[in-house]
Structure 1
Amino acid sequence: MHETDDLIIRPARPEDEKELAVLNRTTWTPLADVGPRPAEDAGVFDERHLPDQFRLALLDGRIVGYIRIAPPTPLASNQHVRQIQGLAVDASVRGRGIGVALIEEACRAARGQGARKLTLRVLGHNAPARALYGRCGFVVEGVLAEEFLIDGAYVDDVWMARPLTD
């Protein structure tokens, strides 16, 4: 668990799903997401998206952000890598360092799972997220040019990583 001021970061629990699903829907944007907006009745947890993969940011008992980390593949040969597979912060609390706190918690959790490297994929047109990741020590490792067609425009898929070894 991580606390700064009134911010609490903790692992998700099954009973968090309903509130987390609302946050997931309200933070959806084509700037950051390649899939369609989640349906009103869409859940978050399933056999591939487990509660223990999520870290939640809470202010005054309300979920205001989350980060999800998971192995990028089921292969034994890259189990030393974890990947950020989702990061969201409620618009009403942006600019308070919650994104940075979630990323640092993800790094700590990944190290605790034996990871040596944390990776992520971010859309090329998502300048705010790319800047956030850069401030947190992530560097671009590759770019898949025009990988997605979003709202009639081709968008790059930018692969970034941060070593977790000191």
Structure 2
Amino acid sequence: MTVMPVPHIRHAALADGEALGRLDRDAWSPLHAVMPRPRPPYDPFYSRRYGPRDHLVAELAGILVGYIRLTHPTSLACNAHVRQIQGLVVADEARGAGVGRALLRAAGEEARRQGARRLTLRVLGHNIPARRLYESEGFVVEGVLPEEFLLDGVYVDDVLMGRTL
């Protein structure tokens, strides 16, 4: 029996930006991306909107293999009790090692630490592996925007999921 190493989860650092950008580009897939495949010249991973403070990263054997973006869904004070996952990426070579699950759990803990009561996300309807993972971690479908995106000639639903913390 092979024992999989446990992912180490930590807050992102400014120095992680280049590796996160590369991971994001390498993991691009029409299964989860609504934006076109990135092409050079590449934009920096961090922006004025999202910085290291909004990301948790996963490492296996010291190698960065995933991240989750956790942020406020809006800037409204009446919505400050909610955090939203606005990105979850796992390197192809780390799939099946529990990285995505570890990142989801760490995001829930971080959201609670920040005082959040709810955690939400959006996932493309055809991304069955991600939806199964989210459901296994307590997320439920709270809404569906039918045929919200036209991707490669196919209309795809935008599924809204959430859970109480």
SS of 2:106's equivalent in the other structure is: helix
TM-score by length of 2: 0.94
User: Are 1:20 and 2:34 matched, yes or no?
Assistant: no
- Provide the C-alpha distance between the structure 2 equivalents of 1:138 and 1:129, rounded to a whole number of angstroms: 11
- Provide the C-alpha distance between the structure 1 equivalents of 2:116 and 2:77, rounded to a whole number of angstroms: 12
- Provide the C-alpha distance between the structure 2 equivalents of 1:137 and 1:126, rounded to a whole number of angstroms: 17
- Specify every segment of 5 or more residues in structure 2 that has no aligned partner in the other structure, as ranges: none
Partner of 1:160: 161
The Cα of 1:98 is off from its aligned counterpart by 0.8
Offset from partner CA, 1:139-160 (integer Å, 9 cap, x none): 0000000000000010000000
Partner of 2:79: 78
- Provide the C-alpha distance between the structure 1 equivalents of 2:159 and 2:6, rounded to a whole number of angstroms: 33
Partner of 1:7: 7
Aligned length: 161
Aligned structure 1 segments of 4 or more residues deviating by more than 4 angstroms: none
Partner of 1:33: 33
Q: Between the two proteins, what is the percent identity of the paired residues?
A: 54
Offset from partner CA, 1:104-144 (integer Å, 9 cap, x none): 00000001111000000000000000001001110000000
- Provide the C-alpha distance between the structure 2 equivalents of 1:39 and 1:62, rounded to a whole number of angstroms: 24
- Provide the C-alpha distance between the structure 2 equivalents of 1:24 and 1:122, rounded to a whole number of angstroms: 16
Query: Relative to structure 2, which stretch is displaced further, 67-76 or 5-14?
Result: 5-14
Offset from partner CA, 1:18-42 (integer Å, 9 cap, x none): 0110000001111101111223422
TM-score by length of 1: 0.94
Q: Supply the AA of the counterpart residue of 2:50.
A: H
Contact 1:119-1:161 at 8 Å conserved across structures: yes
The Cα of 1:96 is off from its aligned counterpart by 1.1
The Cα of 1:43 is off from its aligned counterpart by 1.5
The Cα of 1:50 is off from its aligned counterpart by 1.1
Partner of 1:103: 104
The Cα of 1:6 is off from its aligned counterpart by 4.6
CA RMSD of aligned residues (A): 1.2
SS of 1:140's equivalent in the other structure is: strand
- Provide the C-alpha distance between the structure 2 equivalents of 1:126 and 1:5, rounded to a whole number of angstroms: 26
- Provide the C-alpha distance between the structure 1 equivalents of 2:97 and 2:158, rounded to a whole number of angstroms: 27
Contact 2:144-2:158 at 8 Å conserved across structures: yes
